[in-house]
Amino acid sequence: MSQDEHHLVRHLTIVVLLKLIVLITLWWVFVRDAGESVDSARVAERIGGAASSQGVSK
């Protein structure tokens, strides 16, 4: 690997790690404690389908 390639790999690694840190921080601040509850009947109504009965054999 040439010196230029080594420098590019190091630079890209640092940039990707910084972006990952920023994304994790944003998630930690804004999403972590959102606590939205999910109701399957409401979701099915919202997307236009019928609520499924999982685990029930016919």
pLDDT digit string (tens) for 3-12? 999 999 999 9
Q: Which residue has the higher pLDDT, 2 or 34?
A: 2
Into how many domains does the chain fold?
Answer: 1
State which amino acid sits at residue 52.
S
SS3 assignment, position 35:
coil
Integer Cα distance of 19 and 12 in angstroms: 11
Half-sphere exposure of 22 (CA within 13 A, CB side): 6
> What confidence category does residue 40 fall into, taking pLDDT thresholds of 50, 70 and 90?
confident
- pTM for the whole structure: 0.55
State which amino acid sits at residue 56.
V
Q: What is the domain extent for residue 19?
A: 1-27
CB 52 within 8 A of CB 44: yes
Position 38 in a domain? no
Position 46 in a domain? no
Q: Which two tokens stand for residue 40?
A: 């399957």
